[in-house]
Structure 1
Amino acid sequence: MDDAYSTQMTAGETVEASGLEQLMALKEGDVFLVADGWGDMKGGADGLFAHDTRVLSRWVMTVGLARPSRLSSGVSQDNVFFSCHSTNRPLPPMGGRSAPAGVLHIERRRFLWDERMFERIQMVNHGMEDVLLPLAFDFGVDFADIFQVRGTPRARRGTVHAPTMDGRRVTFRYTGLDKVERHSCLSFSEPPARLTGQRAEFMFSLPKGKTVDLYVECGLDACEAPDAQRWRLNAVHARIAMRAKRRRGASVRGPRSPRFNDWLDQSRADMALLTTDLPTGPYPYAGTPWFSTPFGRDGIIAAWQMLWLDPSLAKGVLTYLASRQATETSLYQDGQPGKIMHETRGGEMSALHEVPFALYYGGVDTTCLFVALAGAYANRTGDLDLIRKLWPNLIAASEWMRDYGDSNGDGLIDYQRGADTGLSNQGWKDSEDSIFHADGHFPKGPIALLEVQGYAFAAWKALGDLGERLGDDRTAEWRARAEQVRQLVEDQFWMEDEGFYAIALDGDGQQCRAIASNAGHLLFTGLPSVERARRVTKRLLTAEFRTGWGIRTLELGQARFNPMSYHNGSVWPHDTAMAAAGMAGYGERAAVAEILAEIYAAAAHFHLRLPELFCGFPREPGEPPIAYPVACLPQAWAAGSVFLMLQASLGLSIDAWNGTINMTDPVLPSGLERLDITGLEIGDAIVDLNFRHVDGRAVVVPRHKRGNLSVRTLR
């Protein structure tokens, strides 16, 4: 999805023959952890990662001489705790006795806080006799860079020093080729009976009916001795911090049916999990495990999805991206002055420029989206103070669009990577085979993507509106550029015989006549004429696009169509949501509500957590959607999709300049008889909105209104 290695599958990703869907992730700040259902990490695609370096690569628990029998495992709905419940297999004889299977309950429970893994192993003897329990952990730290873990080869690397032991503590050290010394420390609450640099062995005496706890910590700095008090205190901090993130902005609740509310809760919890509070404000990291870092495009779209409920995300994203705006030209980084960052990484390989992603700008759409989001944020909040602060960055971004984004002077934003290490395709569909002509052959560059022109149109419009409020005398020029882009798209991308827009123009100005979901993003920006928007909407709603679980990225029957591919026929929830929001902008409500219901049905099969993508096979009665084997879970813009689609279905828009909330032809999805939005803030005003089905229509009743604002329903 988001970098040059996004579609690779390493051997470790095929854990238990079904990949990342079997792995479970925790995240806190710039630290994340991926383990299997037992809580074990085996040095494949799993481990404990900090700042893009794996600081615990192996962590495997055995009871007796075997892995315990797993009863259940999962991550708590608030995404703070992982737990695995298991029981023992028959234990080897100790003192002439052997404990039978199933008499011990063993719970592994862990969380992340303050760049540290906290784990508790709780052992309860439910048998009729005392038990001697041999417990062991195999561990290791390879300090591998995240790109190395994902399969990028390295000719050489730094020095992994021999671990040092100190009673109940093991310290690991690595000196990288970047001259940075990295540390990791593993510590136990009880001294092991035997401790080496790779294994800790314990022998616990469990009287019948009694409980014994073992606490473990792993962090980047010197380990303190773990104990129950440290566990409880840090667990409280972790849970309070997550709760605070989940409570930002307004809340949405459905009917009494707990399943729909659970989906809303899970989506909000996933967005909170992925949001890291940076010095510049909250930022939704793209996803775990491979995209747990700030991405430009992903952060902007996730913030836009949540904008109507929680504008603080957009403020944090805009402020952070402004601080990372390019100031010079770099072919290796695909950067030019004014361009907005695509991705940033903190590992050794990035620092050494073995990969270009320490600060990489190879996203052709991010700069336009940055400006467009600033306009949307201002309309939602009326926060001109932030716009004034960002104005130099917005002007620099507009100058990039004018001077660099349009490489051949034809008035369209285009791309062509500066170095072979960069992304060959630089829109959101960035896999190598995602942009092509009708016969399947790849276009020559520079390539002008359809949806990017829509983003540019929205950016120029936003600049015009903001410039007028700030008294900038270039307002007319920016509005003229928006109109120029609109006309160019209508003239050069429209295919009258198809009733649709081409996915791109190649370097010769020829249409790439593939029929793809990119046109849905164009609708989202409001660029097409009403008549053409209706024709595009009609085609997007056909069975060739619509699977019953969402909208495919590529129409059935197109060259390179493959429902199991990354971008050429799969379903991406955020892509479906943006298309739905685009349709709603042109008055389509009923179909948008139906698509929301379809995505909800898909989410129900994925345990209420929408993956990054899933396969684009048609929906069959009684059968679930088919998972894409290495999709990220959770993914920020997948989690945010439900909220954008709800906004689209309700026809809800907020005009902070005039203090109004408008609902245009609101529709509730089938089976949803009511919806409550509480704590919706506009400036200093706040209101609750209660939606109900009355005589076949959705009716909204404002409640608990405080401050100067008006709520209007438009038909």
Structure 2
Amino acid sequence: MDDGYSVQTTAAETGEAGGLDTLQALKDADTFLVADDWGDLKGGADGLFHKDTRILSRFAMTVGLARPSRLSSGVSRDNVFFTAHVTNRPLPPMGGRSAPAGVIHIERRRFLWAERMFERVRMVNHGIEDVLLPLAFDYGADFADIFQVRGTLREKRGTVETPSHDGRRVTFAYTGLDAVRRTGCLAFSEPPARLGGTRAEFMFSLPMGKALDLYIECGPELRATPDKSRWRQNAVEARLAMRRRRRRGASVRGPRSPRFNAWLDQSRADVALLTTDLPTGPYPYAGTPWFSTPFGRDGIITAWQMLWLDPSLAKGVLTYLAARQATEVNAFQDSQPGKIMHETRGGEMSALGEVPFGLYYGGVDTTCLFVALAGAYARRTGDLDLIQTLWPNLVAATEWMRDYGDSNGDGLIDYQRAAETGLSNQGWKDSEDSIFHSDGRFPKGPVALLEVQGYAFAAWRAMAELGERLTDGRARAWGRRAEEVRQLVEERFWIEDQQFYAIALDGDGNPCEAIGSNAGHLLFTGLPTRARAEAVTRRLLGAEFRSGWGIRTLARGQPRFNPMSYHNGSVWPHDTSLGVAGMARYGERDAVAMILSEIYAAASHFQMRLPELFCGFEREPGEGPIAYPVACLPQAWAAGSVFLMLKAALGIEIDAQARTVTIDAPTLPTGIERLTVSRLQVGDASVDLAFERVGDQVVAMPRNRVGELRIVTTR
């Protein structure tokens, strides 16, 4: 995603070898931390953030007079702990000989919990003599708004107070132009030899063969002094909370497939990391570092990807978004009554209206997706109680589609930003250059995107189905509206000589005949005829789209194609997953397994964690995919992609009202011979499903069935 605010990479972000450091991210609720591979914060694009404000901008450790040598570092598989292993460079003489390099092992182990960073610095002397170990931390808090960190300039800002300190803690404070006083407190378990507003210096006596621990905490407020018991107690609570989030819903495992299981585990852990338990239920935040906040589109699609395994995400997303549905026309917020939000932020700049994202509605697709997800959720769970609760919101959303979403009365949902501060493109491809004509010209507004019409079609159909179940007299009219949208798309977007759909219509109703992956989303909604769906599938599987690592966002050879761009030729895992699920909807299975295998191979090169996107260069033997330099990592809908693609490959459809699980012509990716879905819950019933390759087919075997549940297998 791109909300129009660029990420500025500074010299402070470069590592020792001159290349960019890997950003290591942790998150808990509305607090997240981004550090380099040493665990340091250096004042660039990193920091400890709380509610979109950076409360610790610098935190760098030195041993002696130098940065230590890094041995290894990374985040644990469950995303709870960051650990860096470092060792000393030669230490300066302290009343005798200096300690040589490599005799002191220092482990920095860190986690976030309850709005705080907890860190343990463990020092072990592996030398043959006692050592006086000088350890120092340089720190600071700039209280920058996240949009400032991302490169937005401000003419004025509030007042940063001089840090105060007392023995073993330092307090930072800032009063913003919004009159809110924001604070941060950095505390140590041991009193430093010297403590100031920007630096703490320690001198530890470390006997040979012995270890010593220093505990550190940082958060927005002063709490108890850090110590071993606090560190251990909070670490246990953080790990248990993560375990609960990871174990929601059904699980998928590949017996005898440790690397594939590692991908599944990492993806599930990433969804769990980004999921925040809000009063309305669990909500998957979009991604770190730049999008650690509720986004409408991202939350809906992630919940849809996970729906067959864990419907609780969809329930939480629908409930949260319904509570923030727009009720007024506001050009700055891009809102109209019934519209579903695009993004919400909690920082100073949003509160002051310097950016519109405090509660921003500039997404043309989110309202349609909200309604469509409600329909999918009802089919998956049979939970009509929630649907009845949300019914006024769902009806209001369809009224927005009718009264505001279609600005020119042609029956199609379109967009044109209401204020210059808003997003110029308001679909999922929201960078400024992502929508264009076949000659590269940008279209005049209002613009009607292809995939959004598919979402609208799905929304109208969902309302028709739900309306029938709730005996709403408008159900038939909603069903007719869905068919009208289908007809309009087939007539106006189809390019006969290309055997493909145009990416959009411009304000004059002319098709933007660029060939993009948006058509895969249309397949996902089930709008095209079978013949046209097969034609689209053939092109999406051809060399112009397939990079060997997934499906490109734009076909090779199109104007503005650039495999290094954000939306014009890169590979987005979630985009690929929706296209793959769309192909499966029309009966394609082998190609689904093939693309899943390609994305699996890409994940293997990214340490089993799929980034938001990566470059769309052609796959070359012996080489991995090429990273996009500022992609979010982790990112929710990238992590959820594997689960939607697995559902597509396995051919699983769940109808809770009929108490039926249908398995249609299942297949498995290359190299995976068995797969088990455990604890699949349908109403009050549950079942395990074991899939196994037998000859040239994959067979499904129900096991441990509990309750009334029918399993139907077809080929």
TM-score by length of 2: 0.99
1:297: Cα distance to partner? Answer: 0.1
Aligned 8 A contact 1:19 1:629 in 2: no
Aligned mates of 2:35, 2:707 — CA distance in 1: 49
Query: Given the superposition, is the C-alpha separation of residues 683 and 19 from structure 1 closer, same or farther in structure 2, using an over 3 Å criterion?
Result: farther
**Aligned-partner SS, 2:535:** helix
Aligned mates of 1:51, 1:61 — CA distance in 2: 25
Tell me the equivalent position of 2:414.
Answer: 414
Aligned 8 A contact 1:163 1:173 in 2: yes
Tell me the equivalent position of 2:642.
Answer: 642
Please give the residue correspondences for 1:559-578 in structure 2 after superposition, counting only pairs within 5 Å.
559-578=559-578
Residues 463-522 of structure 1: CA distance to partner in whole angstroms, max 9, x if unpaired?
000000001000111001000000000000000000000000000000000000000000
**Aligned-partner SS, 2:38:** coil
Unaligned runs of 5+ in 2: none
Residue identity opposite 1:74 in structure 2: G
Tell me the equivalent position of 2:520.
Answer: 520
1:173 aligns with 2:148: no
Aligned 8 A contact 1:38 1:70 in 2: yes
Tell me the equivalent position of 1:11.
Answer: 10
Residues 626-668 of structure 1: CA distance to partner in whole angstroms, max 9, x if unpaired?
0001000000000000000000001110010100001111111
Aligned mates of 1:208, 1:712 — CA distance in 2: 68
> Which stretches of structure 1, 4 residues or longer, exceed 4 Å deviation after superposition?
17-21
Aligned 8 A contact 2:379 2:657 in 1: yes
Please give the residue correspondences for 1:532-547 in structure 2 after superposition, counting only pairs within 5 Å.
532-547=532-547
Tell me the equivalent position of 2:618.
Answer: 618
Tell me the equivalent position of 2:151.
Answer: 151
Tell me the equivalent position of 2:675.
Answer: 675
Aligned mates of 1:228, 1:364 — CA distance in 2: 50
Query: Given the superposition, is the C-alpha separation of residues 341 and 70 from structure 1 closer, same or farther in structure 2, using an over 3 Å criterion?
Result: same
Residues 106-164 of structure 1: CA distance to partner in whole angstroms, max 9, x if unpaired?
00000000000000000000111000000000000011000001000000100001111
Please give the residue correspondences for 1:7-406 in structure 2 after superposition, counting only pairs within 5 Å.
7-11=6-10, 15-16=14-15, 22-406=22-406
Structure 1 residues 599-608 or 95-104, which shifts more?
95-104
Aligned mates of 1:517, 1:472 — CA distance in 2: 36
Aligned 8 A contact 1:194 1:200 in 2: yes
TM-score by length of 1: 0.99
Please give the residue correspondences for 1:462-481 in structure 2 after superposition, counting only pairs within 5 Å.
462-481=462-481
1:11: Cα distance to partner? Answer: 2.4
**Aligned-partner SS, 1:153:** coil
**Aligned-partner SS, 1:249:** coil
Aligned mates of 1:90, 1:416 — CA distance in 2: 62
Aligned 8 A contact 1:339 1:367 in 2: yes
Aligned 8 A contact 1:19 1:630 in 2: no
Aligned 8 A contact 2:678 2:689 in 1: yes
Aligned mates of 2:19, 2:276 — CA distance in 1: 26
Aligned 8 A contact 2:13 2:42 in 1: no
**Aligned-partner SS, 1:119:** strand
Aligned mates of 2:158, 2:477 — CA distance in 1: 54
Query: Given the superposition, is the C-alpha separation of residues 343 and 18 from structure 1 closer, same or farther in structure 2, using an over 3 Å criterion?
Result: farther
Aligned 8 A contact 1:35 1:41 in 2: yes
Residues 251-309 of structure 1: CA distance to partner in whole angstroms, max 9, x if unpaired?
00013121100000000000000000000000000000000000000000000000000
Residue identity opposite 1:9 in structure 2: Q
**Aligned-partner SS, 1:170:** strand
1:670: Cα distance to partner? Answer: 1.3
Residues 209-255 of structure 1: CA distance to partner in whole angstroms, max 9, x if unpaired?
10010000001111320000000000000000000000000000013
Tell me the equivalent position of 1:630.
Answer: 630
Aligned mates of 1:547, 1:20 — CA distance in 2: 26
**Aligned-partner SS, 1:402:** helix
Residues 3-33 of structure 1: CA distance to partner in whole angstroms, max 9, x if unpaired?
122x543426853499877110000000000
Please give the residue correspondences for 1:443-592 in structure 2 after superposition, counting only pairs within 5 Å.
443-592=443-592
Aligned 8 A contact 2:38 2:84 in 1: yes
Residue identity opposite 1:222 in structure 2: L
Aligned 8 A contact 2:80 2:238 in 1: yes
Aligned mates of 1:19, 1:449 — CA distance in 2: 39
Residue identity opposite 2:566 in structure 1: Y
Residues 594-641 of structure 1: CA distance to partner in whole angstroms, max 9, x if unpaired?
000000000000000000000000100000000001000000000000
Q: Over the residues paired in the alignment, what is the CA RMSD in angstroms?
A: 1.0
**Aligned-partner SS, 1:445:** coil
Aligned 8 A contact 1:15 1:22 in 2: no
**Aligned-partner SS, 1:699:** strand
Aligned mates of 1:362, 1:20 — CA distance in 2: 33
Aligned 8 A contact 2:603 2:610 in 1: yes
Unaligned runs of 5+ in 1: none
